[in-house]
Amino acid sequence: MKNEEFSDEKLKELLKNSTSSQSFNVPEGYFEELPEKVMNSINVLPDFDKQSAVQPFEVPSNYFEELPFVINDRILSGRKESVSIWKWIFNPTKQIIAALSITIIAGSYFYFSRTKTIEINNSTCTVEEISESPYFESLSDDDLIDFLASQQDENTIDEYDQYLLDNDIDISQLEKSL
């Protein structure tokens, strides 16, 4: 309240020298013409309380006479299409799609079922690595003997003799121990 009183006082002080009571003006004859203008505007408004709605849209001639036939045709054609497998099969678009699908399926089958050749790089490994290998342990003695027998040639026999001589091993003792 104090603020309002203060504002009022200040406003009176500011306006005390003003001679005009109205700062805004209107065109000449404005208020004489206003009622008529307002009434004209109101008269063009539709009466929203009455069912006086005018239909401003039109349709092509005979539209509503033909529409039931169009709908009936669509229903019948939809039904025929659903039972006609031959129509589906002989449809060019469907044939192209089917041919593409078969090509893709056949191509995929050949691609994924082809025989693969895997090259293994030769690499050297030490005797220790071989002896510690789990594969080596799984081999039976018979298999090893058979393998060594098949690999024997003149050179390897000479190497065995030389090994026995170098290590002073008596072959008869060796046979006994076996």
Partner 1 sequence: MTEEFSDQELLEKFREEGSRHYAFNLLVKKYQQRLYWHIRRIVIDHDDSNDIIQNVFIKVWKALDGFRNDSQLYTWLYRIATNESITFLNSKKKRFTISFDDVEHELSDHLASDPLFTGDKIQLKLQQAILTLPPQQRLVFNMKYFDGLKYEQIAEILNTSVGGLKANYHHAVKKIEKYILGS
Residues 101 and 110: their CA atoms lie apart, in Å, by: 14
Half-sphere exposure at residue 156, Cβ-oriented, CA atoms within 13 angstroms: 6
Q: How far apart are CA 28 and CA 23, in angstroms?
A: 16
Q: Which of 34, 70, 97, 164 binds partner 1 (CB under 8 A)?
A: 70
Provide, rounded to whole angstroms, the least separation between the CB of residue 36 and partner 1: 15
Cα gap 22→47, rounded to integer Å:
38
> Residue 42 or residue 120: which is nearer to partner 1 going by CB?
42
If binding is defined by CB under 8 A, does position 78 make contact with partner 1?
A: yes
Binding-site size, partner 1 (CB under 8 A): 24
The dihedral through the CA atoms of 103, 106, 111, 114 has a sign that is: negative
Toward partner 1, which CB reaches closer, 29 or 46? 46
Per CB under 8 A, which region of 20-28, 71-79, 101-109, 163-171 contacts partner 1? Answer: 71-79
Dig out the tokens for 17 from the structure.
Answer: 């020298």
Q: Tokens standing for 149?
A: 């027998």
Q: How far is the CB of 45 from partner 1 (least distance, A)?
A: 6
Query: Binder to partner 1 among 41, 62, 82, 177 (CB under 8 A)?
Result: 41
Q: Is 92 in the site for partner 1 (CB under 8 A)?
A: no
Residue 74 touching partner 1 (CB under 8 A): yes
Of 14, 44, 85, 149, the one binding partner 1 (CB under 8 A) is: 44
Sign of torsion over alpha carbons 119, 123, 127, 132: negative
CB atoms within 10 A of CB 67: 11
Cα distances from 164 to residues 107, 131, 136, in angstroms, run 63, 22, 25
Query: Of residues 27, 29, 35, 60, which one binds partner 1 by CB under 8 A?
Result: 60
| Binding residues for partner 1 (CB under 8 A) | 41, 44-46, 48, 51, 53-60, 63-64, 67-68, 70-72, 74-75, 78
